[in-house]
């Protein structure tokens, strides 16, 4: 059996073409790959040098660990990998086996081989300058300059000897991937590539990928049989890039929406940000905000369809029933009337965090331990916020407010209302309606300014974030940390140390989701880091080092 295998290997590897291809790692990723992740070592080592890494707390910890088994390792450069090159991971499923593969450039084969124990090293097979090591089904194949690591897992519950042999064949076959079978022939992959990114990922089809991952993770649980082929994510290809700029980290992902869902997405996202909200936004009084701009009408029209699609997948037997139910719902709902009442756009602004003194009861004891009630005070952190929601049906809303006053739920304050139930809360709540906007706020003063038209707005850079996206979540981390008294949150010492570093530095987080455009939705997570730092990767690396360090 072994002889036959070796013969096969020799045949597989005897063409020089193979070695030519193995030099370009990306080319041997097959077009069947479900997911590809690439790490741009060149970019990363430019931002964080190998020396910097070696000297850091994390580097030292890692090297200390490595030295135990391989004493030649004095730097991560001694591992034998070409760290400043691109490395890849890809995931593929073949014949009911999932394969997790890594492709890494090697710059010192001997150093790399030292990472294996001398016992394992004896098992290395050499065929035409290619080395193969099979460690209980984990396959490593390498030449002088490239390495393929392949880990696999059977999606069947039985794991026999045959499948282990085929794992080796699988790895060797990968090296044979021809230009026509490569992932580079797939337009959605090549289009998604970005040279400037420090790391990237691409998923061929999100729905398929999720089903496979669920199988891979839950194969032994056997509970998911009915859900294995679910296709209700509505997302086709998914790709993303991570960038480390000088003063910000950005993670940008792009979702391609399935053709059959595009119409629904179009309807849901068919809504413009209510520009009147701008008038009531002041960046100097906004330590965090969240906005959502979606069409209520679109949601109501599409929701039954989306639900029907989902149920059809889960319960194919009841396809007709779900369709009828969906159509019925469409008939009953008056989408336009509801849209008029609830616009589907919200803006929640956390204006401030205030400390307030509150009383509480406690007890004192005399010499004989007889207790007496005493009133003590303590500081509480209370949110000050404003919520805006558009509504075109002011008349109807005013009638609801009057009903609220009649039933003692609301207090009449002239041009606005107070919420009586909020009296049980440590903060007050007020409602006002103006310019087709419903305001809910904790500040009476602010609502008075809004109603009188004396509120001063200041949009700054936030105009773009608010108007261009369907959803934005922004947090001014520095302000929140500053406003939170240290004694109020008893984080452990390590966190406290981090907070002390961060509190004097600019740190803002913004997560935004674009509108639906050209069958795509883009999501951006941007973390602004201090401008005077070397670069954002260094900033986070140093911060993380500070966290692991025990000094």
Interface with other proteins (CB under 8 A): 346, 353, 358, 360-363, 365, 367-369, 371, 378, 380-383, 385, 387, 421, 424-427, 488-492
> From the CB of 500, what's the least distance to other proteins, in Å?
18
> From the CB of 378, what's the least distance to other proteins, in Å?
7
Q: Which is nearer to other proteins, 334 or 421 (CB)?
A: 421
DSSP per-residue codes, 308-373: HHHHHHH-GGGHHHHHHHHHHHHHH--HHHHHHHS-SEEEEEEEEEEEEEEEEEEEEE-TT--EEE
CB within 8 A of 458, min separation 6: which ones?
A: 281, 282, 283, 284
Q: Which is nearer to other proteins, 106 or 300 (CB)?
A: 300
Q: Which is nearer to other proteins, 117 or 358 (CB)?
A: 358
d(CA 257, CA 267): 13
d(CA 404, CA 81): 70
> From the CB of 425, what's the least distance to other proteins, in Å?
6
Q: Which is nearer to other proteins, 225 or 424 (CB)?
A: 424
Decide: helix, strand or coil at residue 142. strand
Exposure string over 524-535, b if 16+ CB within 10 A, otherwise e: bbbbbbeeebeb
> From the CB of 203, what's the least distance to other proteins, in Å?
30
> From the CB of 341, what's the least distance to other proteins, in Å?
11
Give me the helix-helix angle, 259-268 and 296-314, nearest 10°.
150
CB within 8 A of 218, min separation 6: which ones?
A: 224
Task: Give CA separation, 281 vs 354, 463, 512, 537, 543, in Å.
Answer: 19, 10, 18, 32, 33
Q: Which is nearer to other proteins, 316 or 365 (CB)?
A: 365
d(CA 31, CA 313): 27
Q: Which is nearer to other proteins, 346 or 541 (CB)?
A: 346
HEC letters along 180-249: CCEHHHCHHHHHHCCCCCCEEEEECCHHHHHHHHHHHHHCCCCCCHHHCCCCCCCEEEEEEEEEECCCEE
> From the CB of 206, what's the least distance to other proteins, in Å?
26
> From the CB of 272, what's the least distance to other proteins, in Å?
21
> From the CB of 148, what's the least distance to other proteins, in Å?
42
HEC letters along 497-512: HHHHHHHCCCCEEEEE
Q: Which is nearer to other proteins, 136 or 424 (CB)?
A: 424
> From the CB of 524, what's the least distance to other proteins, in Å?
23
> Taking every pair of C-alpha atoms in the chain, what is the biggest distance, in angstroms?
96
Q: Which is nearer to other proteins, 490 or 550 (CB)?
A: 490
> From the CB of 383, what's the least distance to other proteins, in Å?
6
d(CA 132, CA 147): 10
Q: Which is nearer to other proteins, 361 or 550 (CB)?
A: 361
d(CA 4, CA 96): 24
d(CA 542, CA 28): 36
d(CA 100, CA 123): 22
Determine the straight-line distance between the first and last CA of the chain, rounded to whole angstroms.
Answer: 58
> From the CB of 4, what's the least distance to other proteins, in Å?
55
Query: Whose CA is closest to 469, among 508, 507, 526, 511?
Result: 511
d(CA 397, CA 403): 10
> From the CB of 370, what's the least distance to other proteins, in Å?
9
Burial of 359 (C-beta count, 10 Å sphere; 0-12/13-18/19+): exposed
Q: Which is nearer to other proteins, 352 or 508 (CB)?
A: 352
Dihedral of CA atoms 383, 385, 389, 394 in degrees, nearest 10, equals 110
Q: Which is nearer to other proteins, 158 or 361 (CB)?
A: 361
Q: Which is nearer to other proteins, 408 or 492 (CB)?
A: 492
């Amino acid at each position: 059996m072994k002889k036959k295998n070796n013969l096969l290997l020799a045949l597989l590897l005897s063409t020089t073409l193979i070695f030519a291809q193995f030099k370009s790692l990306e080319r041997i990723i097959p077009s069947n790959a479900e997911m590809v992740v690439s790490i741009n070592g060149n970019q990363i080592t430019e931002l964080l040098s190998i020396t910097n890494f070696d000297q850091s707390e994390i580097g030292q910890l890692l090297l200390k660990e490595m030295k135990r088994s391989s004493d030649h390792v004095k730097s991560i450069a001694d591992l034998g990998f070409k760290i400043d090159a691109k490395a890849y991971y890809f995931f593929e499923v073949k014949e009911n086996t999932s394969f997790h593969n890594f492709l890494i450039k090697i710059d010192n084969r001997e150093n790399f081989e030292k990472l294996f124990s001398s016992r394992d090293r004896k098992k290395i097979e050499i065929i035409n300058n290619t080395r193969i090591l099979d460690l209980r089904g984990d396959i490593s194949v390498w030449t002088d300059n490239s390495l393929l690591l392949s880990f696999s897992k059977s999606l069947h519950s039985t794991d026999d000897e045959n499948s282990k042999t085929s794992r080796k064949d699988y790895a060797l076959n990968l090296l044979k991937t021809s230009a026509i079978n490569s992932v580079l022939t797939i337009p959605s992959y090549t289009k998604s590539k970005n040279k400037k990114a420090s790391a990237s990922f691409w998923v061929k089809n999100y729905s398929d990928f999720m089903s496979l991952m669920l199988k891979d993770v839950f194969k032994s649980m056997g509970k998911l049989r009915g859900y294995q082929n679910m296709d209700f994510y509505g997302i086709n290809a998914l790709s993303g890039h991570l960038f480390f700029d000088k003063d910000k980290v950005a993670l940008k992902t792009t979702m391609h929406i399935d053709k059959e869902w595009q119409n629904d997405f179009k309807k849901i996202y068919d809504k413009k940000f209510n520009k009147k909200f701008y008038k009531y936004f002041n960046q100097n009084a906004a330590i965090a905000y969240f906005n959502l701009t979606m069409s209520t009408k679109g949601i109501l029209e599409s929701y039954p369809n989306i639900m029907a699609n989902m149920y059809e997948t889960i319960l194919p037997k009841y396809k007709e029933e779900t369709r009828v139910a969906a159509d019925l719902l469409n008939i009953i709902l008056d989408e336009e009337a509801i849209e008029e009442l609830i616009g589907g756009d919200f803006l929640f602004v956390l204006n401030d965090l205030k400390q307030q003194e509150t009383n509480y009861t406690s007890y004192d004891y005399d010499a004989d331990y007889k207790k007496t009630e005493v009133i003590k005070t303590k500081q509480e952190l209370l949110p000050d916020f404003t919520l805006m929601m558009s509504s075109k049906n002011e008349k109807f809303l005013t009638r609801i407010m009057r009903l609220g006053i009649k039933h003692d739920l609301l207090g009449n304050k002239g041009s606005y209302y107070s919420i009586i139930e909020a009296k049980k809360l440590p903060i007050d709540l007020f409602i006002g309606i103006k310019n087709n906007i419903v305001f809910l706020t904790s500040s009476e003063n602010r609502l008075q300014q809004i109603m009188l038209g004396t509120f001063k707005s200041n949009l700054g850079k936030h105009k773009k974030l608010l108007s261009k996206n369907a959803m934005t979540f922004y947090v001014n981390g520095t302000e929140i940390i500053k406003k939170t008294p240290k004694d109020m949150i008893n984080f452990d010492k390590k966190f406290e140390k981090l907070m002390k570093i961060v509190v004097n530095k600019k740190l803002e987080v913004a997560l935004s989701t674009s509108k639906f455009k050209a069958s795509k939705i883009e999501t951006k997570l941007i973390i602004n880091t201090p401008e005077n730092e070397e670069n954002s990767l260094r900033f986070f690396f140093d911060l993380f080092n500070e966290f692991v360090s025990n000094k």
